[in-house]
Amino acid sequence: MAGSNPLSDLFGRSPIKPIQQHMQVANDAAQLLPVFLEAASRGDWPGASEAFNQIKAAEQEADKLKRSVRRHLPNSLFLPVSRNDLLELVTIQDHVANTAKDVTGLMLGRQMQFPEQLQQPLLELATTCAATCAQALAGIQELDELLEVGFTGGREVTRVEGLIRELEKLEGRTDKQAQKLRAHLFKLERELYPVDVMFYYQVIGLMTAMADAAERVGHRLQILMAK
């Protein structure tokens, strides 16, 4: 029996598949963020810990996929995009999984519960962040079709441009939600412990950074289509 080719097993006929798989795993981590926050808001730390462990596992899997792509992506792709462009795309995608782990790890380590008045707006922000990441995944899932049309012209490019516009709208919504959340937190600051306040702002900032990373995935797709 002929031995398997690790490079062929990883990439098959296209270098696109492992990049899509990487974004799928990163999105898996992002989708668990609202689950974690719901458990944390109830003080259900075993439930929050379970969600964190799943996020951590997804982040670790994303790291493995990232390393595999970096090691095995051929220098000569014979594609209308460069190797460096694809490697940059994977790096941006990786920020999604990393940030999901950072948010939940910070909150779990401190058993952090936001003030009751902020919990619903925080969950709404997390839900929109997760939707933004899912939209980025939807764009990455079109890479196969973009490859077939050479990343230029046609219905597929128009479709992906529409996905990116929706992605930008979702990321813009996270900015507005975060702004309102910070404004509400500012009004409560004098009633809260200063150290807690500092970490509340940090969590909000990390969540918006995750949505920003998802938006940058879309921007990278735009760059690929423009070349």
Beta strands in 116-182 (DSSP E): none
The answer to whether residue 2 sits within a structural domain is: no
Q: Residue 186 domain-assigned?
A: yes
How many residues would you count in the chain? 227
Whether the predicted pLDDT of 1 surpasses 50: no
List the domain range (segments joined by +) for residue 178: 13-226
Mean pLDDT, range 112-135, rounded to an integer:
97
Instruction: Please return the burial class of 14, using the count of CB atoms within 10 Å of its CB with bins 0-12, 13-18 and 19+.
Output: middle
**184 inside domain:** yes
Q: Is 32 within the bounds of a domain?
A: yes
What phi and psi values does residue 152 have, to the nearest 5 degrees? -140, 135
Closest Cα partner for 120 from 216, 15, 41?
A: 41
Q: Is residue 202 part of a domain?
A: yes
DSSP conformation letters of 33-66: HHHHHHHHHTT-HHHHHHHHHHHHHHHHHHHHHH
Whether the Cβ atoms of residue 142 and residue 157 lie closer than 8 Å to each other: no
- Report residue 10's pLDDT band, with 50, 70 and 90 as the boundaries: very low
The pTM for the full model equals 0.90
Smallest Cα–Cα separation from 58: which of 14, 108, 15, 104?
Answer: 104
In a domain, 4, yes or no: no
Q: Is residue 7 part of a domain?
A: no
Which range, of 55-64, 103-112, 143-152, 192-201, averages the lowest pLDDT?
143-152
pLDDT per residue over 144-193, tens digit each?
787 776 666 678 788 889 999 999 999 999 999 999 999 999 999 999 99
User: For residue 104, what pLDDT band results from cuts at 50, 70 and 90?
Assistant: very high
What CA–CA distances, in Å, run from 146 to 49, 61, 163? Answer: 39, 26, 13
Residue 81: give its domain's CATH number: 1.20.58.220
Query: Is residue 6 a part of any domain in this protein?
Result: no
| Domains identified in the chain, total number | 1
Tokens linked to 160: 């992906």
Q: Is 73 helix (H, G, I), strand (E, B) or coil?
A: coil
Which residue would you say has higher pLDDT here, 208 or 75?
A: 208
Give dist(CA 124, CA 174) in Å, integer. 9
